[in-house]
Structure formats: C-alpha cells, structure tokens
C-alpha cells in the first residue's frame, strides 16, 4: 500500500513539473514576441532622427491615420501673393515634405497644414497675419497659434527662443525652430530671424533676405542662412 501511495505521489509531482515547464515555455514565447514588436517599432525613432530621408513601408511604423487624412504638403505650384501692393520677388523652391515625416508626428503635420497656406505671402516687418503678410516671428507665431499645437501669443524671435529648449543642429527634427543672428545687420545683437525646420535640410520661414516672403530654404545648403545660423530649439 505504501509503494502504491509513493507511486501515485511521484506521478502527481511529475505531472506538476511537466505543467510548470510547459507554462514557462509558453510564457517565454509571449515575452519573446513582445520584445520583437518593441524592437521593430523602434526602427523609426523621431527623437533620434538624424535628418536623413526615411523610407518606411511597414504600416506598423505609422500613426493610425487613414490615408485620406494625410494631405500633400508642398510648395509645388505655389505662386507669390500680392497683399496691399507688396509682393515677394523670390522664386519659390519646389519641395514636397515626405509623407512618412508627416505621419510620424501629429504636431508636425498640424504645423505644416497651416504653414503651407501662406507659402508665397510677402514679408512685411511687424506683420503677423494673412491679411497683412508676415515677418519671421509673426509667421511662426501664427502657425503655432492657428495649428492647435500650442499658443505662443505674439512675440518676437527672442521671445520664441525663450519658449524653447536647446537641441543640437544634428538632432533637429521636423517642427523644431531654427534661429539666426545678424540677418538685420552685423551691429544688431541677439536673435534676428526664426523659421520652422521641416526636415531634409529645409526650413519654412518669412524671409527677411532680399525682397522677402514665406518660402522654403535649405538650412545648410544656403550659404547666407548657414553662415547666420545660431541654434535649433524645441517648443515646449
């Protein structure tokens, strides 16, 4: 009788051990799958994006936005607008913001939807709305205030600078602000110009250079703005 009891106990323990091993195996499979998903979804890290063109094909890397909700943000086909007799003489650069950058950040998408409306508008010192034209800070303030991203009020380039935190030029991402100095003369101190970085070495701004206007310009590729660049900063 004792032997039979011992045999039954051994069988019970063996079954419990087998069940525990099976449970541990299934648990390891679950966590392995979670790790794989985490590894895959980190392929495109907006915080550490280096500014290079990104090509993403797997839908899991995108925000859950319907295709029809992603507009084409482009300067292609835009013309210079005359407001109250003022018109920019700049030739507008044709540039289309890559869809994957718009998908990666809803705030950047909102900023660009608003900013695109005013490409070609004239530069007017002190102006800050579509009825009058824009100066550089007036344009940036209008875009942030009317995109719904955040309310910055109406302030100048130095005021916008103070609302942001530092990021390196190499780590600037779409939606960050880029700041310049001495664009109003070598004797004018402090921040004198500001624009919104859109990726791929482009920024959108109400330019003070020449006859001025809202347009896209290369950050590093334009000798004038490259020479006057002072900082990139992130709102918030």
Q: Which of 165, 177, 37 is nearest to 107 (CA)?
A: 177
Alpha-helix residue ranges (DSSP H) falling in the chain: 2-41, 99-104, 106-116, 136-147, 157-162, 223-228
pLDDT at res. 219? 96
d(CA 70, CA 230): 33
CATH number of 67-235: 3.90.1720.10
Q: In percent, how much of the chain has pLDDT > 70?
A: 71
pLDDT at res. 12? 67
- Tell me the pLDDT tens digit for each residue of 100-122: 999 999 999 999 999 999 999 99
pLDDT at res. 43? 44
Residue 115 CB coordination number (10 Å): 25
Angle at 139 between CA 158 and CA 193, to 5 degrees: 40
Q: Is residue 167 predicted with pLDDT exceeding 70?
A: yes
For the residues 168-189, what does the mean pLDDT come to?
93
d(CA 94, CA 73): 11
- Tell me the pLDDT tens digit for each residue of 50-90: 545 444 443 333 444 455 578 999 999 999 999 989 998 88
Write down the domain spans for the chain: 67-235
Residues carrying an active site annotation: 136, 193, 205
Q: Is residue 41 predicted with pLDDT exceeding 80?
A: no
Q: Is residue 31 predicted with pLDDT exceeding 70?
A: no
């Amino acid at each position: 009788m004792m032997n039979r009891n011992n045999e039954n106990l051994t069988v019970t323990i063996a079954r419990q051990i087998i069940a525990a091993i099976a449970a541990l195996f299934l648990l390891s499979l679950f966590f392995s799958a979670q790790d794989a998903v985490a590894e895959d979804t980190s392929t495109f890290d907006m915080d550490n994006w280096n500014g290079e063109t990104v090509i993403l094909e797997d839908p899991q890397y995108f925000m859950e936005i319907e295709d029809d909700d992603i507009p084409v943000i482009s300067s292609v086909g835009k013309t210079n607008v005359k407001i109250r007799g003022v018109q920019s003489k700049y030739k507008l650069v044709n540039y289309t913001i890559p869809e994957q950058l718009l998908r990666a950040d809803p705030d950047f998408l909102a900023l660009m939807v608003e900013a695109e409306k005013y490409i070609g508008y004239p530069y007017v010192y002190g102006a800050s709305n579509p009825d009058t034209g824009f100066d550089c800070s007036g344009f940036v303030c209008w875009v942030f205030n009317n995109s719904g991203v955040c309310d910055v009020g109406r302030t100048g380039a130095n005021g916008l600078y103070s609302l942001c935190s530092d990021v390196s030029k190499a780590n600037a991402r779409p939606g960050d602000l880029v700041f310049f100095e001495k664009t109003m003369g070598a004797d004018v101190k402090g921040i004198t110009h500001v624009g919104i970085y859109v990726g791929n070495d482009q920024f959108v701004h109400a330019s003070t250079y020449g006859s001025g206007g809202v347009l896209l310009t290369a950050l590093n590729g334009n000798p004038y703005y490259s020479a006057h660049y002072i900082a990139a900063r992130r709102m918030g």
